Amino acid sequence: MQLVTPVSAEFAGVDLGDRRLTRRLMRMAEAAERSPGASLPERAGSSAALEGTYRFFANDRVTPEALFDAHVRATVRRAMVEPQVLVIHDSTEFRFGGENPRDGMGWINSDNTQGFLAHFSICVARTGRPLGTLALHAWVRQGARVGRRKTTLDRRDPDRESHRWQEPALQTGELLHGKTKVVHVMDREGDQFELLSLLVEHDQCFVVRLAHDRRLEPGRGRSGNPKLFESISGCPFIFTREVEIGARAKPKGSNKLDVFPSRKTRIARLEVRAGIRRIFTVHSAPAHVPAFLDLNVVEVREVDPPKDEAPITWRLVTTEPVSTEQEVAAIVDSYRQRWLIEEFFKALKTGCHYQQLQLESGRALLIALSIEAAVSWRLLSLRWAAQHRPNADATSVLPADHLRLLAALSAAETGQPATIQLSVRTALFEIARLGGHIKNNGAPDWLVLRRGLDALVAIHRGWVLAQGP
C-alpha cells in the first residue's frame, strides 16, 4: 500500500498546453520533493535547468490556479475513501526580504515589510492523516495603512479581511458534497456570527473555538444581559481527560500575550462540559444576519493548573451532537486536530524555506506556493506515517534508490549488515539523523527533516557519480 504518493503525482493531471512545460513541472516537483529546503539553483542542479525553471515561472500558460487545482483534485480523491474528514481553516503571512520591492507584494504589519497573506483550508482524516490542501486564497495589503477602524464600520465593510473565511468554507464543502462527511474546524478567528450563520444556512458542520462572549438575550452589551462564557461553565459535566500540553514560546507582539501566553510542556487534567445555547448577534450586525443561532457548546477547562501558568480553556460552538460522552469526545478530538495547520505552515516556512525563494513577482511566488503546498503535505504525511504506521515498509513512502542509500548509511553507522527492508519509522529517523537529530530527543522537527533530506540528496548525487556510467 502506498501511504504517501510522490509530489509529482499530484500534478499528473495538469494541462499547461505544452508537454515541455508539463515535463519541466514534473522535474521541478521531483526536485522540490527530494530537497525541500534547497534554493532554486540547488534544486535545478545546472545552469540550463535553472534557466528553464525561471522560464517556467515567467510563462503565461503557467498559472497558480492550474497547478493548485491539480493538487486539490488529488486531495479530493484521498478524501472520498474516508467516512468523515476535517477541513481545517486558518490564515498566515508570508514575508520576503530584500531592499527592492517585488511586483505584486503589499505591506505586512508595517510599511517596511513586503509580502502577502494567505488563507488555507487543509483536509485531514479523523485519524489525523493529512490528505492535502483544498483551498488557497491569497491577498495583499496595499495603499496607506488606515489604522484600527471602529468595530461597527468593520462589520459592514464588504471587503474586510474576515470575509475571506466564508468563501473557502463554502467552496470546500461543495467540493466534498456527497463524497464524505465534512466538519469544518476553526480557531478563534472563525468566531464570526455572520460566518457561523452562513455555515448553518448551507447545512455545513463545524467546530469553532469562541473568541467572543456572546449574548444570551437580545439587546445591547450595556444592558446587563447574561453572557455565554459564564453560562457554559454551568453546563452538565461530561468527563475528565488528561492530555499532554506542548510548550509554547513567548509570542511575537505584545498584543498576542493574553491570547497565546508562553508555557512549558505539562500533563493537563481537563474537565469537559457540554450543552445547548441560543446566542444572539450584536445590534449593529448586517440586516441579512439572523438575530440568533441555536448551537451546541462545549467547554474544556483545566483543573488545578501549575502555579503561574494560565489554565487551558477552550469554549467551542458546534453543529455536532452532544448527547453522549462519545459524541462530546469526538468534538474535542476534532478541535485538537487544528494544530495540524500550524504544522503545515511550519512545513512551508521552515521545512521548504518558501520565504527564502528569490522570485521577483507575486505571480511567480504563487506558482511556487502551489508546488510547495504539495511538498508540505508530503512532509506532514511522512511524519504521520512514522507516528501511526511505523512498521510499514518504507517503500510505501520513499523511492527505492533513496532507501538503498539510507540502508548503506545505516549499516556504516551501526556496523550491521545493510538491508533495504527499512520500516517507515527507521527511514524517517535515518533522514533526521543526517540533519543532526538525536533519536532520544523524540520526533524530529521540520528544520531537522529539511536538513536531512537536503543531505540525503547531496550524498545521493555523490553516490551516483561514484558508481560511474
pLDDT in tens, 131-188: 999 999 999 987 765 555 454 445 555 566 767 899 999 999 999 999 999 999 999 9
Q: What is the mean pLDDT of the chain?
A: 87
267: β partners: 244
Element (H, E) at 112: strand 110-125
Q: Is-contact 427 406, C-beta < 8 A?
A: yes
Please give the pLDDT value at position 145: 59
Written as nine digits, the cell of 309 is 501558568
pLDDT band at 417 (very low <50, low <70, confident <90, very high): low
Least confident of 62-76, 136-150, 215-229, 420-434: 136-150
- Kindly report the length of the chain: 469
- The amino acid sitting at 55 is R
Find residue 369's DSSP bridge partners: none
Which residues partner with 400 through β-bridges?
Answer: none
Cα(341)–Cα(355) distance, rounded to whole angstroms? 17
Q: Which residues contact 83 (CB under 8 A, 6 or more apart)?
A: 126, 180, 181
Do the beta carbons of residue 344 and residue 122 sit within 8 Å?
A: yes
- Mean pLDDT of the region 208-212: 96
Answering whether pTM is above 0.75, one says: yes
Rounded Cα–Cα distance for residues 62 and 15 (Å): 9
Residues whose CB is less than 8 angstroms from the CB of residue 47 and which lie 6 or more positions away in sequence, other chains included: none
Please give the grid coordinates belonging to residue 275.
450543552
Give the model's pLDDT for residue 440: 73
Picking from 140, 103, 101, 102, the residue whose alpha carbon sits closest to that of residue 119 is 140
Q: Report helix, strand or coil for 294.
A: strand
Question: SS3 of 217, please?
Answer: coil
Minimal CA–CA distance to 286: which of 192, 179, 200, 353?
192
Domains in the chain, CATH or no CATH each? 1-187+338-388 (no CATH), 207-336 (3.90.350.10), 392-467 (1.10.740.10)
